[in-house]
Amino acid sequence: MSVALARPRLRTPGLPVPLVLGVLLVGAWAVLAVGAPWLAPYDPIAQDMAAKLQPPSAAHWLGTDNFGRDILSRVIWGARIDLQIGFLGVIFPFLIGTCIGAISGYAGGIVDNVFMRLVDIVLAFPFLVLMIAIIAVLGPGLASFYIAMALVGWVSYARLIRAQVLVLKHADFVLAAKSLDFGHGRILFRHILPNALTGSIVFAMSDAVLVILNGAAISYLGLGVQPPIAEWGLMIAEGQGFITTAWWITTFPGLAIVVLAFGFSLLADGLGELLGVRE
């Protein structure tokens, strides 16, 4: 064993590297999404049959699809929809799940039992299958996707928050608040909940990855975003008929999903590191 003495391992000051990279990646997509009208070189839905199925070139960096639409422009415009999916698809379940989990854990007893049995039942369904079934009832479309997401996605948050609340319920500062005769609502939402949120905020970042993938998958199946709107999952579905001749139609929107999802994964890892949360 060589006696190579490591310098004392000091914590490098500043933010974890994954967090910085994650913020940069997600931020870059956000800039593209916001700036789409100015940044996209072409109209994302304007057809140009003269320029259909062109491979990547100087005029069309990422090629064109079977309607002659510019893939680069569609990918940039697609960022708007897919970022929105990632945001709204997480925020609704987060809010619902946090409320239910907090009430369930704080109230205990029958309320807790009923909610947790409901969680068990919803978790018994494969996530995507239940989503698809709900969307089938509501009819295809992005609105249906968000509703289904809210109806199915809350369970993970409810479980996380409930577990935290169960622990914090008996913490000293909560007992102190109780002894001061604060109302239940104030104790739960002002004292317990802020301390219980850290874990689920980190989880929300990694959940965003799954939500974006699910949203793209639902659109791929034809149950989400409808043509001619540019959305990455839908673009992949539209390009699948041309894989033997025009690989670029499917490849680039998929890469866009991978990069955005990677950004959120890094964000989750980095945030977890920063806040000391292990999944």
Q: Which residues bind another protein (CB under 8 A)?
A: 1, 3-9, 117-118, 120-137, 206, 209, 212-213, 216-217, 220-223, 233, 236, 240, 243-244, 247, 250-251, 253-254, 257-262, 264-266, 269
| Residue placing its CB nearer to another protein in the complex, 24 or 46 | 24
In angstroms, the CA 190 to CA 102 distance is 12
Measure Cα distances from 11 to 14, 15, 17, 50, 217 in Å: 9, 10, 12, 59, 41
| Residue placing its CB nearer to another protein in the complex, 72 or 217 | 217
| Residue placing its CB nearer to another protein in the complex, 121 or 171 | 121
The nearest distance, CB 239 to another protein, in angstroms, is: 8
The nearest distance, CB 150 to another protein, in angstroms, is: 15
The nearest distance, CB 157 to another protein, in angstroms, is: 16
Strand partners, 64: 70
Q: Does residue 140 have a cis bond before it (omega within 30 degrees)? A: no
The nearest distance, CB 173 to another protein, in angstroms, is: 30
| Residue placing its CB nearer to another protein in the complex, 193 or 261 | 261
The nearest distance, CB 126 to another protein, in angstroms, is: 4
Q: Given 3-state DSSP classes, what are the helix, strand and coil percentages for the chain, each rounded to the nearest 5? A: 70, 0, 25
Q: Which of 217, 225, 200 is nearest to 275 (CA)?
A: 200
| Residue placing its CB nearer to another protein in the complex, 177 or 218 | 218
Taking a C-beta distance cutoff of 8 angstroms, is the pair 199, 277 a contact?
A: yes
Neighbours of 142 (CB within 10 A): 20
